[in-house]
C-alpha cells in the first residue's frame, strides 16, 4: 500500500507544472517505479545535450550535400542518434557538433569543412521540417519542442575553422554557431590543447584572447572542453560571461587524463557561473575502462587467430558477443551519476549539464546509456540517489539555458 501511495503522489507531482516542494522520497520506490517516473520526467522536461557528433558521422558515412543524406527521421542501423530514439529518450535539443579534425589546421580547409557540415545540418531540417529545426536560442528550443520537433542548435568543435580572421567569429554566429570549442586534438592559433604536449602558447595566444573577447561581444558561448589547463585559466581571466564545458567529465575519476577537468577547475567554472556538461564516453568516466577494454580486445584477437576466424565470420561474431557480455569492460550508467554527484558536491547543482558525445566516442558508451533513447536510465539513477525533479530539470536544460541567456544578454 505504501509503495502504491508513493507512486500516486509522484504522478501528481509530475503533473504539477510549477511544483517546487519535494513531497516524494523517490529513494523509497522500486527500480521499476523509478524508471517509470524517469520516463515521464524525460517526456515532460526539455532535455538539452551539449554534444552530439551526427554531422561528422554523416560525413564519415559518405553522405554529402550533392548526394544522399542519412535518413535520421527513422530508426537507423548503427550510430547513437535518430528521431525515433530521441523521442523515446526525451531528447529535445542535441547540440550538433560541427567538428573540425586537427589535420585541417595543417592542410587548410577548416572553414570550408565547417560550412559544409553546417549546410548538412540545415539540410536535415529542410528535408524533414516536421521533425527537425535549427535553434539559435533557448526560446527557439522552447518553440520547437512545443511543436514536437527536435531542435538542432550548433556548436563548432575546434576554433581552427576561424582560421586567422577574427571576423569569422561574427561570420559563424550568422551561420548559426552558438558555442565554439576553442581547440581540439592539437594546439591551434587560439590556444593549447589538452591532448598536445607541445604547449605552443603556454595557454591562450594573443589571438585567442581576442577570440574569447569577440565571442563575448558577439554572443557565442566559450567552450573549454579540449583545452589545456593553462588555456582554461587564461579563459577564466579573459571572459566577461559564464563559459561551458560542452562534453567533459571529472578528472578525479580519471587521474592523469587532462581532457577532463580537475576539482580546482570545476570550482573556478562554478565561480564563473558556468556549466560542465558530463561526457558519457568510457574513458571519460572510468579510469580503468581503457585497460579493461584493451584486455578484452587482446584476448579476442588471439582467439580469432587461434581459431582461424575473422571478425566477419558468424561464428566469431557470436563468440565475441558472448565473451564481451561475460567480460563486460564497459562502465554502467551509475558511473555517469558518480560524476554528477562529484560536481554537485564541489559547486552545487546549478553547474551541471549533459554532454554525452553520442556518435563521437564509438562503442565505449556505458551499459544503460548506449544511445539517445536511454536518458531515462540516468534520470532513474539520479532519483535513486535522492535528486529532486527540480534538480533534474536544472541538469537537463535550466543550467545551460541560464548560461546561454546570460551570454545573449551580455552581447546585447
Mean pLDDT of 218-229: 98
Instruction: Report the pLDDT value the prediction gives residue 23, as an integer from 0 to 100.
Output: 55
Element (H, E) at 134: strand 132-134
Instruction: Determine the length of the chain.
Output: 412
**More confident site: 68 or 317:** 317
Round to whole Å and give the CA distance between 358 and 233.
28
Q: Does the pLDDT at position 58 exceed 60?
A: yes
Instruction: Report the pLDDT value the prediction gives residue 174, as an integer from 0 to 100.
Output: 98
Q: In this structure, are residues 333 and 368 in contact, taking their beta carbons and an 8 Å threshold? A: yes
Instruction: Report the pLDDT value the prediction gives residue 336, as an integer from 0 to 100.
Output: 98
Q: pLDDT-derived band of residue 132, with 50, 70 and 90 as boundaries?
A: very high
Confidence (pTM) = 0.90
Instruction: Report the pLDDT value the prediction gives residue 310, as an integer from 0 to 100.
Output: 87
Instruction: Report the pLDDT value the prediction gives residue 19, as an integer from 0 to 100.
Output: 46
Round to whole Å and give the CA distance between 126 and 305.
48
List, in sequence order, every residue forming a beta bridge with 152; answer none if it has no partner: 134
Q: In this structure, are residues 360 and 97 in contact, taking their beta carbons and an 8 Å threshold? A: yes
Q: Does the pLDDT at position 20 exceed 50?
A: no
Q: In this structure, are residues 298 and 343 in contact, taking their beta carbons and an 8 Å threshold? A: no
Cell numbers found for residue 18: 510549477
Cell numbers found for residue 62: 559518405
Mean pLDDT of 162-188: 98
Round to whole Å and give the CA distance between 408 and 412.
6
**More confident site: 325 or 385:** 385
Cell numbers found for residue 93: 535539443
Cell numbers found for residue 393: 530539470
Tell me the pLDDT of the chain averaged across its residues. 92
What domains can be seen in the chain, in order of their start residue?
29-285+332-411 (3.20.20.140), 287-330 (no CATH)
Instruction: Report the pLDDT value the prediction gives residue 98, as an integer from 0 to 100.
Output: 98
Going from the C-alpha of 194 to that of each of 50, 52, 162, 352, the distances in angstroms are 19, 20, 19, 21
Round to whole Å and give the CA distance between 397 and 166.
30
Cell numbers found for residue 148: 514536437
Longest Cα pair distance anywhere in the chain, in angstroms? 68
Is 200 exposed, middle or buried (CB count within 10 Å of its CB: 0-12, 13-18, 19+)? middle
**More confident site: 5 or 147:** 147
Q: Does the pLDDT at position 1 exceed 60?
A: no
Instruction: Report the pLDDT value the prediction gives residue 296, as an integer from 0 to 100.
Output: 80
Angle of helix 375-384 versus helix 31-44 axis, rounded to 10: 120
Q: Does the pLDDT at position 120 exceed 90?
A: yes
Share of the chain above pLDDT 90, in %: 79
Q: Single out the residue of 17, 90, 6 nearest to residue 48, CA to CA.
A: 90
Round to whole Å and give the CA distance between 114 and 131.
23
Round to whole Å and give the CA distance between 297 and 299.
5
Round to whole Å and give the CA distance between 18 and 390.
10
Q: pLDDT-derived band of residue 4, with 50, 70 and 90 as boundaries?
A: very low
Helices (H), ranges, 175-288: 206-218, 229-238, 263-272, 282-285
Amino acid at each position: 500500500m505504501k509503495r502504491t501511495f508513493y507512486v500516486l503522489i509522484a504522478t501528481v507531482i509530475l503533473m504539477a507544472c510549477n511544483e517546487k516542494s519535494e513531497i516524494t522520497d523517490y529513494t523509497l520506490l522500486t527500480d521499476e517505479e523509478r524508471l517509470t517516473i524517469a520516463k515521464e520526467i524525460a517526456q515532460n522536461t526539455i532535455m538539452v545535450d551539449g554534444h552530439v557528433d551526427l554531422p561528422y558521422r554523416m560525413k564519415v558515412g559518405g553522405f554529402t550535400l550533392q548526394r544522399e543524406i542519412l535518413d535520421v527521421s527513422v530508426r537507423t542501423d548503427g550510430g547513437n542518434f535518430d528521431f525515433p530514439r530521441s523521442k523515446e529518450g526525451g531528447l529535445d535539443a542535441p547540440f550538433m557538433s560541427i567538428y573540425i579534425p586537427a589535420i585541417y589546421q595543417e592542410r587548410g580547409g577548416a572553414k570550408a569543412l565547417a560550412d559544409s557540415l553546417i549546410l548538412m545540418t540545415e539540410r536535415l531540417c529542410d528535408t524533414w521540417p516536421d521533425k527537425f529545426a535549427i535553434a539559435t536560442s533557448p526560446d527557439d528550443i522552447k518553440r520547437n519542442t512545443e511543436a514536437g520537433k527536435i531542435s538542432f542548435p550548433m556548436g563548432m568543435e575546434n576554433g581552427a575553422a576561424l582560421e586567422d580572421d577574427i571576423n569569422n567569429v561574427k561570420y559563424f554566429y550568422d551561420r548559426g554557431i552558438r558555442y565554439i570549442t576553442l581547440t581540439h586534438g592539437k594546439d591551434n592559433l587560439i590556444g593549447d590543447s589538452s591532448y598536445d604536449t607541445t604547449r605552443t602558447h603556454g595557454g591562450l595566444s594573443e589571438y585567442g584572447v581576442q577570440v574569447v573577447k569577440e565571442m563575448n561581444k558577439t554572443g557565442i558561448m566559450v567552450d573549454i572542453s579540449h583545452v589545456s589547463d593553462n588555456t582554461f585559466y587564461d579563459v577564466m581571466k579573459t571572459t566577461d560571461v559564464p563559459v561551458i564545458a560542452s562534453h567533459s567529465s571529472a578528472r578525479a575519476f580519471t587521474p592523469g587524463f587532462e581532457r577532463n577537468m580537475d576539482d580546482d577547475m570545476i570550482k573556478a567554472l562554478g565561480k564563473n557561473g558556468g556549466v560542465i556538461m558530463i561526457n558519457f564516453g568510457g574513458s571519460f568516466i572510468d579510469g580503468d575502462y581503457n585497460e579493461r577494454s584493451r584486455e578484452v580486445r587482446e584476448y579476442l584477437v588471439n582467439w580469432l587467430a587461434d581459431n582461424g576466424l575473422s571478425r566477419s565470420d558468424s561464428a566469431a561474431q557470436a563468440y565475441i558477443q558472448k565473451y564481451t557480455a561475460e567480460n563486460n569492460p564497459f562502465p554502467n550508467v551509475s558511473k555517469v551519476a558518480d560524476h554528477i554527484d562529484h560536481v554537485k558536491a564541489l559547486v552545487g547543482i546549478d553547474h551541471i549539464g549533459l554532454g554525452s558525445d553520442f556518435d563521437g566516442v564509438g562503442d565505449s558508451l556505458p551499459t544503460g546509456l548506449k544511445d539517445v533513447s536511454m536518458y531515462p536510465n540516468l534520470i532513474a539513477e539520479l532519483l535513486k540517489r535522492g535528486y529532486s525533479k527540480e534538480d533534474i530539470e536544472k541538469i537537463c536544460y535550466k543550467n545551460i539555458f541560464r548560461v546561454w541567456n546570460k551570454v545573449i544578454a551580455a552581447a546585447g
